Amino acid sequence: MKIVNQKWRNFSGKVFQEPITEIVEKAIVRELSEGYKLKVCVGSDSQAYKSHIEYATAVVVLREGKGGFMFIKNLKGTKQIGIKERMLKEVTMSVEVAYAICNILDKHKVSLEVHADINTDAKFQSNVALKDAMGYILGMGFEFKAKPHAFASSSCADKVV
């Protein structure tokens, strides 16, 4: 699958040239110095079209009781794939980002969750990937959240895909 990769940006549209590790570390240091208790959630979402699939990954920095902000990255895949493969591609994208930033978060004692845009209700198509996604995320040592608690993927990434 050919992937068209974009740079990280914030919700306002500011584009960052640095890798996500540097972007997150600067944000964490700034927010902690202002006295906020933080949590970071990573999630991805996708939208299938006739000719391609668009993906978005969101790194959401939550200030306990004081809102938050996010960093976003979009990808465009040119190959059509099935629903299970697409859900697992989203999870893989989230886990790759979580793995890249986890040492930074550990260093600053900030908790991390990985969110999957997968429904826990078997009536929904995305449920076919639930067990695999949960096993992958938990197996990597991350805290797992699925719908309806997976806001980083189902709300944040969903808004920018």
Which residues have CB under 8 Å from 135's CB, separation 6+? none
For 48-63, how does the pLDDT look when each residue is reduced to its tens digit (9 = 90+)?
A: 998 899 999 999 999 9
CA 161, 4, 90, 145 dihedral sign is negative
**How do residues 51-110 score in pLDDT, each as one tens digit?**
899 999 999 999 999 999 999 999 998 777 999 999 999 999 999 999 999 999 999 999
Q: What does CATH list as the number for 3-160?
A: 3.30.420
pLDDT tens digits for range 110-143: 999 999 999 999 999 999 999 999 999 999 999 9
Report yes or no: 115 and 94 within 8 Å, Cβ to Cβ: yes
In this prediction the pTM is: 0.93
